[in-house]
Amino acid sequence: MLRVISANLNGIRSAVSKGFLPWLEKQHADFVCLQELKAQTADMTAEMLNPHGYYGYFHYAEKKGYSGVGLYAKHQPERIVEGLGVAEIDAEGRYLELVYGNLSVISVYLPSGSSGEHRQTAKYAFMDYFYGHLADLANADREVLLCGDWNIAHQEIDLKNWKSNQKNSGFLPEERAWLTRVFDELGWVDVYRRLHPETTGEAYTWWSNRGQAWAKNVGWRIDYQIATPALAAQALSTSIYKDERFSDHAPLTVDYDWKV
């Protein structure tokens, strides 16, 4: 069995202070994909860099306290791909790929456009480039798993207040249509939705810090594991961990009938 966890930490130092690493040790995951590290090398403790039983790999943002992705892996990869090869994107630390034979595991963090027009423009630029990269990955005759915060709720069932969010970043028609193309035209599979096609409230992975969103479960499903069809077909079960809060996101775990 292959167990993979995706977790936006909203700051690795903050999440660790809230018990993320002791929880992680009990999960026996093969891969742990991290987003929003909000840290650089100098900020990382030895335990953050290499938790017990794991090798740690990271793609930090150049800006301090911002973005950044990482991957904890039980086994060392044959190859590491850090970044997408686009200076503006890679400066924000948004893509990290570990290669194992015929399998790639990727931690990805798409931009948020909620802070203003300039960031929505940057998000669209990322999406335009990333679509081509996703097409290349889909056509590479390999199995690929992309884990992370995509900052897009795909369908109406993926957020509580969908009617009032149709003009807000994360649920804009253009963003949703782009994600539909990723699935329908490129053939990628939303693993959670494959297993739970109609689940609503239990599916949320992020809650705003405003208004009692967590207490009232006014959430969004914006964290995904998205896979090539053969790998997605081997997904056995999935869970979203909410018993403890390490961040404003909840970790998403999927078990696959797969061996690295």
Task: Domain count for the chain, please give it.
Answer: 1
Query: Which pLDDT belongs to residue 91?
Result: 97
**pLDDT tens digits for 225-239?**
999 999 999 999 999
Mean pLDDT over the full length of the chain: 97
DSSP class per residue in 122-140 = HHHHHHHHHHHHHHHHHTS
Query: Which pLDDT belongs to residue 116?
Result: 85
Give the residue carrying structure tokens 């992309």. 146
Residue 109 annotated in active site: yes
Residue 149 annotated in active site: yes
C-alpha 160 chain-centroid distance:
20
Instruction: Note down pLDDT in tens along the chain; length 260 residues.
Output: 999 999 999 999 999 999 999 999 999 999 999 999 999 999 999 999 999 999 999 999 999 999 999 999 999 999 999 999 999 999 999 999 999 999 999 999 999 998 889 999 999 999 999 999 999 999 999 999 999 999 999 999 999 999 999 999 999 999 999 999 999 999 999 999 999 999 999 999 999 998 899 999 999 999 999 999 999 999 999 999 999 999 999 999 999 999 98
**pLDDT tens digits for 67-126?**
999 999 999 999 999 999 999 999 999 999 999 999 999 999 999 998 889 999 999 999
CATH of the domain at 139: 3.60.10.10
Query: Which pLDDT belongs to residue 115?
Result: 85
* Catalytically annotated residue among 54, 95, 149, 190: 149
The closest of 161, 149, 167, 157 to 206, measured between CA atoms, is: 149
Residue type at 192 in one-letter notation: Y
Residue type at 210 in one-letter notation: R
The closest of 25, 82, 27, 77 to 55, measured between CA atoms, is: 77
Residue type at 73 in one-letter notation: A
Burial status of residue 118 (CB atoms within 10 A of its CB: 0-12, 13-18, 19 or more): exposed
Query: Which pLDDT belongs to residue 219?
Result: 98
CB atoms within 10 A of CB 135: 16
| Domain extent for 148 | 2-256
* Catalytically annotated residue among 57, 109, 204, 256: 109
